[in-house]
Structure 1
Amino acid sequence: MGVSPAGLGALLGAFEENFRSHGEIGASVSVWWRGSEVLSEGRGWCEKEASQPWTARTLVPVYSATKGPASAALLLALEEHGLGAETPVGEVWPAFPLPTASFGDLLSHQCGLAALDEAANIWKHEEVVAAIEAQLPTWRPGEGHGYHPRTFGALVDEPVRRLTGMPLGRFWNEKVARPLALDFWIGLPESEMGRVARLYPGKAQAGDFEKGFYREFGREGSLTSRAFRSPRGLRSVQEMNEPDAWRAGFPAMGGIGTASALAKFYQVVQGAIPGPFGAGVLGALAKRRCEGDDRVLIQPTAFSAGCQLDPLDDSGRKLRQLYGPEISSFGHPGAGGSHAFADPENGISFAYTMNQMELSVMPGRRSTRLIEALYG
């Protein structure tokens, strides 16, 4: 299967409908196929006051859609040192609470470090690392998995610092983004700050907090609640609209970029565009390492070493199609709606970014409608 003109036309129609009927303010969508961008569209406004038009070059924070690029950066740093996803974390980070766990275990949310008992400030990397090192894991590899929404940042940043002598964001910007001309930053320079759109939080509806993830998210002391509050700080959308957050380069949720750059990144890691990543990086990002009931997200999830995949039922069929119809597709969403993935089976990559967030920890209907249209 390739990318058909009919599929691209249907996608554009759904994109336009998001503005007419689904509350879109500003958004971009990008589709690449076999090394070339076949669709790049940006429309709307960078703010509700409609003073700055949104274009395909508009930058916007993408929250956890950062995790795919951040994971690739760690895997690249490992690869450059002759290491990989099966290397025990303790070889690089001796004080890690589970030193025999592999980097693949860490990147697939299997190490039980989603919530911290010690208070730590997300703005203070050393403080967060100390809290991680002191933490008794809630579970261990082989005992299940649970999404690490915020601790993931320090968990990938600290090994990169130990391997390269620089923060993960700087390593990404220098080793990946700049050579590939990717307009995606983990640590935004001052020169680009005038291009950043303003984010608007999603609104809760009646009944949203009555069951599942949002019930646990709102329940004081639950693992879900603690995971989304560990480490503390930078919890409001308003804070994410500030330049301090843009320049900080938080690897779990601080990436800022265009849809085109995110989709191009997923072309690079599937080998359609030459880049710095060896086959081991693609293999780690694409290989399904765990799936089942997620202890934090309170729903079935599946993870590779750093990316998310659609979970399968007992017969091997997809339970949902957030990443299109192919079982091999992988990527990562961001809180509120941003989304990006690779479909190596068909040579496709896709990304969607926006500034009007939805109340959703998984991709919302504005992005999934686009994916459904693309694949027909």
Structure 2
Amino acid sequence: MTIDVHGAVAPRFGAIEKAFADAFAGRPSMGAALAIRHHGEIVVDLWAGLADPRDRSPWNENTATVIFSCTKGLLALLAARLVQEGRLDYDAPVTDYWPEFGAAGKHTITVTELLAHRAGLSAPREPLTVNDIVNWSRMTATLARQTPLWQPGSGHAYHAITYGWLAGELIRRVTGESAGTHFQRAIATPLHQDAWIGLPDYARSRVAYVSADATLQDLIADEAAHRDINVPDWSEKSMTLGGALPPELVGEESGFNDPRIQAAEVPGAGGIATARALASIWSSAITTTDGVCLLSAATMQEATQIQTEGAPIFGSPGPWPRWGRGFQLDSQTRRYLTASGFGHDGAGGQVAFADPDTGIGFAFLTNQMEGREDTRATHIIDTLRALLKTLPG
């Protein structure tokens, strides 16, 4: 299949356009975008394919899409900014900012433990509905009173969706603004970029329709077939919240294709952005970009120290991700360009990160979610890594 790739690439980054086009091989219904900044300069801004395969509408330069867990990286940036401003302390108990959180034995949990998936709240104990998850105060109250699933601090498990309300409420308690409002004021608006945690009505027509392909559906079916129905599957519940979301995270008008969920602030996975916006945001985390530099070198170093790695509490085969204070770090599971890379990937193929050693801000976004053996972003990152080694300086 020949794909028409639109946009622009700086001459010295020409190899990236082919790597991006390669991602469409055998995927006639896919849409995607790729943006890269190098030392603050836009060097790659590409898009191709379909924004909605149902009506064959094309992906264009202003198409945005759900970024899933890439949203967690944006919350980690907000938290790091608050630490930098002296308004938040990574070592402080969460209850210093959110007193109600201390219920049911959670009073010793620190901000770092909450951000590093160690709080014991990776899934709700009771099944939730869509009406629950679009209600911020209901969700934060539910998590604040919940007994942890394991002794906090003794281990970790990925807080796939609950992370957003936990970190987001911490941000709200410190700033007096919702996570989405604070994100707009502190990051998106200063950079003049199209990214939202809580989609405004005016941007709804720009959002791509997201679908789960056969590889993801097969993976979910295989996991379900091997599940012991007599034992709570907390990993599955962390994704579905006990039924509020489909296992694939999207359906025809459900999950993160549901306008109600897109409009609500669901910061564990519900951010919506263009690739251009995410590449600019991550670039600004490490270097001045369009007049904005989000983090000092000292803040970045503190925020990216390894806090969580290795086997999780609820056992899964390795290799496993690695996290700092909210940031996903380079690991065997998610390779960035160098060991200094930090950011966050997202369900089904999204990847966004900064790499201070190379000066790169990177974002690859797609609306075709895949499961096993998804090498689309990995191939582009590998190509970029090889290319950077050939550049002078």
Q: Tell me the TM-score normalized by structure 2.
A: 0.83
Asked whether 1:145 is paired with 2:163, we answer no
Aligned equivalents of 1:158, 1:78: Cα separation in 2: 15
Corresponding residue for residue 195 of structure 2:
184
Residue 350 (structure 2) pairs with residue 335 (structure 1):
no
C-alpha distance in 2 between matches for 1:135 and 1:206: 31
Equivalents in 2 of 1:207, 1:193: separation in Å?
30
Could you tell me which amino acid in structure 1 is paired with residue 357 of structure 2? E
Distance 2:46 2:340 in 1: 26
1:48 aligns with 2:53: yes
Structure 1 residues 49, 210: CA separation in 2 closer, same or farther (over 3 Å shift)?
A: closer
Which residues in structure 2 correspond to 1:52-131 (within 5 Å)? 52-80=57-85, 82-97=87-102, 98-120=106-128, 121-131=132-142
Shift in Å, 1:359: 2.2
CA separation of 1:114/1:206 partners in 2, compared to 1, >3 Å: closer, same or farther?
A: closer
Contact 2:136 2:265 in 1 (8 A): no
Residue 91 of structure 1: how far off its partner (Å): 0.6
| Equivalent pair of 1:269/1:281 in contact (CA under 8 Å) | no
Give the letter for the 2:66 counterpart.
P
Q: What are the equivalent positions in structure 2 for 1:1-376 lying under 5 Å apart?
A: 8-23=13-28, 25-49=30-54, 51-80=56-85, 82-97=87-102, 98-120=106-128, 121-140=132-151, 142-204=153-215, 208=219, 214=223, 218-220=227-229, 221-230=232-241, 232-235=243-246, 236-238=249-251, 239=254, 240-273=256-289, 274-279=292-297, 281-295=299-313, 298=316, 299=318, 300-311=320-331, 319-320=332-333, 322-324=335-337, 326-359=338-371, 364-376=374-386
Question: Normalising by the residue count of structure 1, what TM-score does the alignment of the two structures yield?
Answer: 0.87
Residue by residue over 1:72-118, the C-alpha shift from the partner in whole angstroms, topping out at 9 and shown as x without a partner, is 22333454453232222111012224333221111110111102223
Cα deviation for residue 309 of structure 1 reads 1.6
- Which amino acid in structure 1 is aligned with residue 123 of structure 2? A
Gaps (5+ residues) in structure 1? 312-318
Structure 1 Cα separation of the partners of residues 288 and 315 of structure 2: 32
Unaligned runs of 5+ in 2: 1-8, 387-393
Residue identity matched to 1:358 = E
RMSD: 2.7
C-alpha distance after superposition, 1:268-320 (max 9, x if no partner): 11234323545564234422212111335723221011111233xxxxxxx35
CA distance in 2: counterparts of 1:210 and 1:295, whole angstroms: 23
Distance 2:365 2:382 in 1: 17
Tell me if the contact between 2:216 and 2:370 (Cα under 8 Å) persists in the aligned partners: no
Change in 2 beyond 3 A, CA 1:297/1:341: farther
Following superposition, the deviation at residue 68 of structure 1 comes to 0.4
1:137-190 Cα distance to aligned partner (Å, 9 max, x none): 233454221110011011012112222222111111122111111211111211
CA contact (8 A) 1:217 1:224 kept: no
Query: Sequence identity, in percent?
Result: 31
CA distance in 1, matches of 2:227, 2:41: 43
